[in-house]
Amino acid sequence: MKFFVDTAEINEIAELNDLGMVDGVTTNPSLIMKSGRNILEVTKEICGIVSGPVSAEVVATEADDMIAEGRKLAKIADNIAVKVPLTWAGLKACKVLSGEGNMVNVTLCFSANQALLAAKAGATFISPFIGRLDDVNIDGMELIADIRQIYDNYGFETQILAASIRTVNHITDAARIGADVITAPPSVIKKLADHPLTDAGLAQFLKDWEKTGQKIL
Ligand code: E4P
């Protein structure tokens, strides 16, 4: 499973990237707003750190404008994935931009039928939003399972990018189902290493080691 990090914060990306935990990055207009940075500048900087796909999202709502924005974003670096929303205009932009050889991430997916359309439009990635579905009492993970089954039934190569991940359990469940990629905030990725028994075990080992009076170095 590939790990994308869902942020536009350079320091957080660099820290996880140094550990080999970053296979790509996703951003969106809200994350760019939070970073306080210019989209073109910060995206270029991210692409200089991470060699995998870096999603940069269009903000136009008409297909022709999305295509023009997508072409501009794609020029930032070779590893840009142009992110378009799952609307008919977005699907049209996906078809054109992917036909021109760009990676395209179709975002804001909330149903299996939407995911089917994205695959047919040539999407490289489909981004179903788990957390936002859970927020409205719909099982987000069920959507990941449905898309996995549908894509496998027909051999679609579009990668399932499980997004809007809020908990470490979302990552376990997405991995079990076979999502190709997860994108999560750095804080959630860091929590994957936590376990109270690891902490307790380490504390006991250190206490006992202290009693031996030995040193390794
Ligand atoms: C994915 O590409 C989105 O940027 C992100 O996962 C949305 O997450 P949120 O619902 O926590 O804002």
Q: Using one digit for the tens of pLDDT, what is the confidence trace for 152-196?
A: 999 999 999 999 999 999 999 999 999 999 999 999 999 999 999
Q: How far is the CA of 150 from the centre of ligand 1 (A)?
A: 23
Q: Among 126, 118, 163, which residue's Cα sits nearest to residue 141?
A: 163
* Cα 149 from Cα 115, distance rounded (Å): 11
* Cα 16 from Cα 25, distance rounded (Å): 11
Residue pair 146/112 in contact by the 8 Å Cβ criterion: yes
DSSP symbol at 192: T
Q: Give the catalytic positions in this structure.
A: 83
User: Mean pLDDT by 10-residue block, N- to C-terminus, for the chain (217 residues)?
Assistant: 98 97 98 98 98 98 98 98 98 98 98 98 98 98 98 98 98 98 98 98 98 98
pLDDT of residue 174: 98
Please give the helix or strand (H or E) that residue 67 lies within, else none.
Answer: helix 63-74
Closest protein CA for atom 12 of ligand 1? 164
* Cα 21 from Cα 104, distance rounded (Å): 22
Q: How far is the CA of 204 from the centre of ligand 1 (A)?
A: 39
pLDDT of residue 192: 97
Write down the pTM of the prediction. Answer: 0.96
Ligand 1 site, residue 105, Cβ cutoff 6 A: no
**Domains of the chain with CATH codes:** 2-212 (3.20.20.70)
How much of the chain exceeds pLDDT 70, in percent? 100
Q: How far is the CA of 162 from the centre of ligand 1 (A)?
A: 9
Q: Cα 188 to chain center, whole Å?
A: 12
Closest protein CA for atom 8 of ligand 1? 164
